[in-house]
Amino acid sequence: MSRTSRRKLLSAVFVGFCALSVLIALVPLAFVLFFVVSEGIQSLNVDFFRNMPKPVGESGGGMANAIVGTLMVTGLGSLFAVPIGILSGVYMSEYAGTRFAAVARFAADTLNGVPSIVIGVFAYGIAVLPFKQFSALAGGLALGIMMIPIIARTTEELLLLVPGTMREGALALGATRARAVFSVVLPSALPGIITGVVLALARIAGETAPLLFTAFSNRFFTTKLNQPVATLTVMVYTYAISPYKDWHRQAWAGALVLIFIVLVCSLLARFATRRLEGMQAR
């Protein structure tokens, strides 16, 4: 074989490999989605959304309390994380050249990489033990800690993308730095920031490990912040490792609901980004 045709063959093989790897990666995705949808759909009925968990062995139980619980802890997490995340993002973008901003950026990336179980251990130490209470608040704290770096970095990057002319224009008109940022720069980056928050929400809604020792779990319905609360993820975990067929079915249904939430959030985020890009193009 001539040198040229050998090179061409190698190139074709390489291109084929790349295409194949895309297919290989999509196989597990299809697999997982297929199983979750087919198994979950069978057990997804009104009971699932309306009923409380039933005792072991009795059928007809649901995850109503867990769904509310997930909303509670993600809501609490956002309350904690959104202000800290956005404002530190503002600092990192406004004072981007300073050494402290670099330190903050490093801290955010580090926090992003901390395993969620370690954050759960930390939250147990500071929010559960001292108060001798498992609680939704502690769960919200753990989830919030995970959201902060995502929101901070997204905010920073988006603010840096805003054209300098906008900021300079505001400053030239005599605005303080604060005013320039909050009235001019931030609002124009807002859709992207909201997208970042939504994506962070989607990520933590699916977290299990940090909730295991903070929010614990609850067989009953509660909206109290200082009590343990059931969450979709922990319930799916508890049911999945059990030997009861009925609980397995409910676990699949719970997984389906989780995937649905994640899918909706991702689609929303993509849609918002596209609208944002469309608006900026105009």
Partner 1 sequence: MRFLSKLAIAAACASLLVAGTAAQQKVQINGAGATFPYPIYSKWFAEYNKLHPDVEINYQSIGSGGGIRQITNGTVFFGATDGPMTPDQLQQSPGKILHFPTVLGADVPVYNIPNVTAELKFTGAVLADIFLGKITKWNDPALAKLNTGVNLPATDITVVHRSDASGTSYIWVDYLAKVSPEWKSKVGVATAVNWPVGLGGKGNEGVAGLVTQTPGSIGYVELIYALQNKISFGTVQNLAGEFVKASEASVTAAAAGAALKMPADFRVSITNAEGKGVYPVSSFTWLLLYESPKDKAQSKIMVDFVKWALTDGQKFAGSLGYAPLPEAVVKLEMAALQKVKVS
Partner 2 sequence: MTAPVPGRKKASRGLVATDLGFRLGTGLFATMLVALVVAIGFELSRQSMLTIEKFGLNFWRTEVWDPVAGQFGALPFIWGTLYSSILALIISTPIALGIAVFISELCPDWLKQPLVFLTELLAAIPSIVYGLWGIFVLVPAVRAFESSLPAVLRQLPLFSGPPVGVGMLSAALILAVMVVPFSSSVAREVLKSVPGAQREGAYALGATRFEAIRAALFYARTGIVGAVMLGFGRALGETMAVTMVIGSTPKVSLSLFAPQDTMAGVLASQFTEADTELYLSALVEIGLVLFIITLIVNSMSRLLIWSMARSERSSTPVVAAEPVEVTA
Q: Is 229 in the site for partner 2 (CB under 8 A)?
A: no
CB of 107 to partner 2, least distance (A): 4
Tokens at 208, concatenated: 């299990």
Nearest CB to partner 2, comparing residues 76 and 148: 148
Give the end-to-end CA distance of the chain in Å, rounded to a whole number: 54
Question: Choosing among partner 1, partner 2, none, which partner's interface includes residue 211 (Cβ < 5 to 8 Å by kind)?
Answer: none
From 49-57, 60-68, 89-97, 189-197, give the range in contact with partner 2 by CB under 8 A: 89-97
CB of 252 to partner 1, least distance (A): 15
From 3-11, 66-74, 219-227, 268-276, give the range in contact with partner 1 by CB under 8 A: 219-227
Instruction: Give the count of alpha carbons within 13 A of 125, CB side only.
Output: 6
Residues in 39-78 that interact with partner 2 by CB under 8 A: none
Residues in 29-88 that interact with partner 1 by CB under 8 A: 54-57
- Report yes or no: 171 and 107 within 8 Å, Cβ to Cβ: no
Token pair 């919030």 in the structure block, residue: 144
| Helices marked H in the chain | 3-43, 46-50, 64-94, 99-113, 116-123, 136-161, 164-172, 177-179, 186-205, 209-212, 232-240, 245-281
Q: Which residues bind partner 1 (CB under 8 A)?
A: 54-57, 128-129, 132-134, 216-220, 222-228, 241-244
